[in-house]
Amino acid sequence: MRIPFTGVGTALITPFRKDGSIDESSVRRLVRRQIDAGIHFVSPCGTTGEAPTLGDREKLRVCQLVVEEAAGRVPVLAGAGGYNTREVIDLIHELEGIGVDGILSVTPYYNKPTQEGLYQHYKAIAESTTLPIVLYNVPGRTGVNLEVQTVVRLSALPNVVGVKEASGNLVQMSEIVAAVPGDFLLLSGDDPIALAVMAVGGKGLISVASNAVPSEIVQLIELAEKGDFAGARRLHRWLLPFLQVNFIEANPIPVKAAMAAMGLIEEAYRLPLVPPSATARDKIVKVLQDLKLLGSAARV
């Protein structure tokens, strides 16, 4: 049996309607599509899910829909992080009642705590719940880096089971792998370098691109898990233009535009996110055309 939260987890987008409401039927449909494609777990209400624009009631509703649709077939790693430790703990308690399988918790942002502050923040969260906690380090967005020794300290807590690493720093990731217990999970938080992260000891990927191309991303990571890096490299090279174009503007703008072009969702964002510029949209569509991805994802 696969260890929970290894392999590929999709950082699920949150589909909206043009009136700004959550498109609940699309949430369910997208989860079904992910599971049918062989995804290993799903992660709603993170950065890609536009979590900063969702109220707590909306986050809980999205996670409830995902849990119901997953129906135990794949684990659900729900996003719950932020700069107010007590509010994060309160949200986690409510997520426990919904039945999520774990928590992905981004580092506090804006108030830029010290490494000791980060440790105490996560320690308080971990001690408040029996759910497994995956740390989320994305310093390009939060303004603070979760350093190697802090990850090592946190890995000693029984229910801190891994880290989603989106620093882009392969040396830092290599040092983490070398210093943490063997069962602690290092997950790539960046699609374009996921294969490299697997090569230095990563255990999987929490992916943006798999919203649009789940089976292809699953195949890539499973090849790496089997040690077939030659096959994984071939697939990586083919996918790379799409992996890169997803970040031509702020995530999740490009991947939502791509999914709309593929017929998967209605294209809608919440402010301060807006549709891509005409130039960016042209590049997104060209990549989809070049990879023959348009028309390959009929709505079901």
Q: Please state, as a whole number, how many other Cβ atoms lie within 10 Å of the Cβ of residue 66.
A: 26
User: What phi, psi does 192 have (nearest 5°)?
Assistant: -65, -25
Residues sharing a CB contact under 8 Å with residue 109, sequence separation 6 or more, in sequence order: 82, 83, 141, 142, 143, 144
Q: Which residue is catalytic, options 59, 119, 164, 203?
A: 164
Q: Answer positive or negative: Cα dihedral of 192, 195, 198, 203.
A: positive
238 vs 234: CA distance, rounded Å: 6
Residue 136 known to be catalytic:
yes
Question: Where does 106-228 have alpha helices with state H?
Answer: 115-127, 139-142, 148-155, 170-179, 194-199, 214-225
Q: Which residue has the tokens 């939060």?
A: 142
Q: What's the DSSP call for residue 269?
A: -
Residue 288, CA atoms < 13 Å, CB-side half-sphere:
25
224 vs 164: CA distance, rounded Å: 18
95 vs 97: CA distance, rounded Å: 5
Residue 122, CA atoms < 13 Å, CB-side half-sphere:
33
Q: Which residue is catalytic, options 59, 119, 122, 136?
A: 136
268 vs 265: CA distance, rounded Å: 9
Residues 164 and 137 sit within 8 Å (Cβ to Cβ): yes
234 vs 276: CA distance, rounded Å: 30
Residues sharing a CB contact under 8 Å with residue 97, sequence separation 6 or more, in sequence order: none
Token pair in block for residue 173: 């990731």
Residue 112 known to be catalytic:
no
What positions carry a catalytic annotation?
136, 164
